[in-house]
């Protein structure tokens, strides 16, 4: 089995949007550039959402213009919640878009103000134009292990939604344990079922570290054959009012494990620390990455 693993860096979007501090488009561009330099081949750089709803992601088009002036936009992904956002992404010549849905009606409603079915119709509507523009399309499925509003989620619902997203034309599906409640046996059970309807190369795992379980779950997913994992520099994405609360699994801790397992990621951990330091100095946050704290001796 291949030892190549793709780490999808989601800190500049999923991470930053959950932090109270707002950093400028220039600072976001600098962070993304450091991440790119460290070897991350796919980076989620922003979203086209209402700046009133998510001020952290305002002026994503400015970030993209800066990135374009520095090189190709190929490595960069942008989240679009609806057709309006999609049109902005198209105008910015984005090459990868991500679209959000979830296995919980309540969660989808609160996030993009529509039902699961309506979210799929939105996606279906934008797909022809996305394909014509040569965009890669990623579908996010949130709440795969449980929903903060609806509680437990049946694995069959995740399987069915994965299948629908792929049938609609998604190139990849990112399975998100958004509230970090999963443990390895449940993860294995779910992935075994999802693998029946999706090729491994189209599946990513997106683990939040709320209960400290992200790495054992990712380790289990590796042994199930998955090779794409989302993570966030410095563990960005926790609540700034809660020093210990945790967001996405940190890219640093994930890479420490992958390096130790002999997986090839193309990422240089010492260069990555420059991005970590930038996050710390810019956002003035306590880092939520254990290995970064160890490496930086803080």
**Which residue's CB is nearer to its own copies, number 39 or number 216?**
216
133 touches its own copies by CB under 8 A:
no
Q: What is the Cα–Cα distance from 226 to 232, expressed in whole angstroms?
A: 18
**CB of 83: closest distance to its own copies in angstroms?**
36
138 touches its own copies by CB under 8 A:
no
Q: What is the Cα–Cα distance from 90 to 34, expressed in whole angstroms?
A: 25
Query: Site size for its own copies, by CB under 8 A?
Result: 40
Burial 142-176 (b: 16+ CB within 10 A, else e): bbbbbbeeeeebebebbbebbebbbebebbbbbbb
Which DSSP string corresponds to 91-140? HTT-SEEEEEEES-HHHHHHHHSS-HHHHHHHHHHHHHHHHHTT-EEEEE
**Which residue's CB is nearer to its own copies, number 154 or number 243?**
243
Among 13, 28, 122, 186, binds its own copies (CB under 8 A): 186
96 touches its own copies by CB under 8 A:
no
94 touches its own copies by CB under 8 A:
no
**CB of 265: closest distance to its own copies in angstroms?**
14
Piece of the chain touching its own copies by CB under 8 A; list 41-49, 58-66, 67-75, 211-219: 211-219
Q: CA separation (Å) from 277 to 6, 37, 46?
A: 23, 14, 20
Residues annotated catalytic, as ranges: 239
Q: What is the Cα–Cα distance from 76 to 9, expressed in whole angstroms?
A: 10
Residues 6+ apart with CB under 8 A from 198: 162, 163, 166, 173
- 153 and 176 in contact (C-beta within 8 Å)? no
**Which residue's CB is nearer to its own copies, number 197 or number 215?**
215
293 touches its own copies by CB under 8 A:
yes
Residues 6+ apart with CB under 8 A from 296: 273, 276, 277, 280, 287
Site for its own copies in 243-282 (CB under 8 A): 243-246, 250, 253, 256-257, 259-262
209 touches its own copies by CB under 8 A:
yes
Among 219, 271, 274, 277, binds its own copies (CB under 8 A): 219
State the residues that interact with its own copies by CB under 8 A.
180, 182-186, 209-213, 215-216, 218-220, 242-246, 250, 253, 256-257, 259-262, 286-294, 297-298
């Amino acid at each position: 089995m291949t030892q190549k693993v793709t780490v999808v860096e989601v800190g500049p979007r999923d991470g930053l949007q959950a932090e109270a501090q707002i950093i400028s488009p220039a600072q976001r561009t600098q962070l993304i550039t450091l991440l790119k330099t460290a070897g991350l081949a796919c980076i989620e750089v922003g979203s086209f959402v209402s700046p009133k709803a998510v001020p952290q992601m305002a002026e994503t088009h400015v970030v993209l213009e800066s990135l374009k002036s520095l090189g190709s936009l190929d490595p960069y992904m942008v989240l679009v919640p609806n057709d309006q956002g999609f049109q902005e992404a198209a105008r910015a010549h984005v090459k990868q878009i991500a679209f959000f849905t979830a296995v919980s009606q309540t969660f989808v409603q609160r996030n993009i103000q529509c039902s699961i079915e309506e979210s799929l119709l939105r996606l279906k509507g934008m797909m022809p134009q996305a394909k014509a523009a040569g965009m890669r399309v990623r579908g996010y499925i949130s709440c795969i292990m449980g929903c903060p509003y609806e509680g437990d989620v049946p694995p069959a619902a995740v399987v069915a939604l994965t299948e629908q997203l792929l049938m609609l034309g998604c190139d990849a599906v990112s399975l998100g344990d958004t509230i970090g409640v999963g443990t390895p046996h449940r993860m294995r059970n779910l992935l075994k079922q999802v693998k029946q309807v999706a090729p491994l190369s189209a599946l990513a795992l997106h683990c939040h570290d709320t209960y400290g379980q992200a790495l054992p779950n990712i380790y289990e997913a590796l042994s199930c054959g998955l090779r794409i994992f989302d993570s966030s520099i410095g563990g960005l994405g926790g609540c700034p009012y809660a020093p210990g609360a945790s967001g996405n699994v940190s890219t640093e801790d994930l890479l420490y494990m992958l390096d130790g397992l002999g997986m090839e990621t193309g990422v240089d951990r010492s260069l990555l620390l420059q991005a970590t330091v930038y996050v710390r100095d810019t956002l003035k946050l306590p880092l939520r990455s254990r290995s970064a704290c160890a490496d930086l001796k803080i």
